[in-house]
Amino acid sequence: MFSTKGRYALRIMIDLAQQQSEELVPLKDTAERIGVSKKYLEIIAKDLVKAKLISATSGKHGGYALTRSPEEYTVGEIIEIMEGPIVPIACLLPDAEECPRVESCPTLPMWKEFAQIEHDFFFGKKLSDLVH
């Protein structure tokens, strides 16, 4: 399950992509359009800026902008930045200790297959796919 932080990050990115403007987009405008508090979006936007998915300029004419074209972002990268690795079970996390039952676990192949399907799905979707 994805948190509101991951879902709202995606909504911020979609909103910025939809503006198709050379102007920076004030976060208060995005907050109004997507129906989420500006204060909560500030927390999320800070993480997106830190990850270099968006840029920010403060001041009277400040705001936010995508750092790339919408076609260059995958939904998977946006979600993973906010949520961490997209995996269905803890033993598939990149930094997980090897499970002592890895050789005898009858469900592990199923979970690995599901993880691959999930990964391919989210990394196969572009931000531009969600804009239209």
Using an 8 Å Cβ cutoff, are 82 and 44 in contact? yes
CATH number at residue 121: 1.10.10.10
Alpha-carbon distance 49 to 67, whole Å? 9
Domain housing 30: 4-131
Q: How many CB atoms lie within 10 A of CB 39?
A: 9
What is the reported pTM?
0.91
Give pLDDT tens digits along the chain (132 positions).
899 999 999 999 999 999 977 789 999 999 999 999 999 999 999 999 999 999 999 988 889 999 999 999 999 999 999 999 999 999 999 998 988 888 899 999 999 999 999 999 999 999 999 997
Using an 8 Å Cβ cutoff, are 127 and 17 in contact? yes
Q: Which of 25, 23, 32, 21 is nearest to 48 (CA)?
A: 25
Tally of domains in the chain: 1
Residues in contact with 8: Cβ distance below 8 Å, sequence separation at least 6, in sequence order: 34, 36, 40, 41, 44
Using an 8 Å Cβ cutoff, are 73 and 9 in contact? no
